Amino acid sequence: MPPGLPEEVRALIYSSVPTIDALEVLLLLVREPERSRTAAEIARDLEPTILSEDVLRGYLAMLLSQGILVGIPDGGVAYRPSSEGMAKAIEGLRAAYDQKPVTLIRTVYSIADAKKLQAFADAFRLRKDP
């Protein structure tokens, strides 16, 4: 694991930021917390990055389930962290993006790789029959 990011930021990445694209989606919403956006608006605002609608909706669903976003009656989402601890971790993530982008990107890739290796190893784990 690359050093340099606080533990709460690494934990946030582990739970809620599987890719750099997911990071960009989250940070787009964090930058304007008073604004709600639909998936179509998010896709447009991320240009030139192109995300399929299914991938984008998957990221939004994950961020909603983690208590980072809330659904808005118009069908959009808005940044509303569910706790002070979550807000602090997200602020640390935003600061890392601005101040230590290489460290942040390496950490996202490192955690994603570790998850893939663990999933591969788990596929070969022997299980006892019930």
E strand segments, 30-113: 69-71, 77-79
64 within a domain of the structure (yes/no): yes
pTM of the model: 0.78
- Does residue 74 sit within a domain? yes
Residue 125 φ/ψ, nearest 5 degrees: -70, 130
CA distance 113 to 106: 10
pLDDT class of 2 with cuts at 50, 70, 90: very low
Mean pLDDT, the chain, rounded, equals 85
Number of domains in the chain: 1
Inside any domain, residue 36: yes
Give the structural domain span for 57. Answer: 7-119
Residue type for position 87:
A
pLDDT tens-digit profile of 92-127? 999 999 998 888 888 888 876 555 555 555 566 666
| 129 lies in some domain | no
Is 127 part of a structural domain of the chain?
Answer: no
CATH number for the domain harbouring residue 69: 1.10.10.10
Q: Which pLDDT value is given to residue 51?
A: 85
On whether residue 109 sits in a domain, the answer given is yes
What is the reported pLDDT for 1? 42
Strands, E assignment, the chain:
69-71, 77-79
- Mean pLDDT throughout 80-93? 93
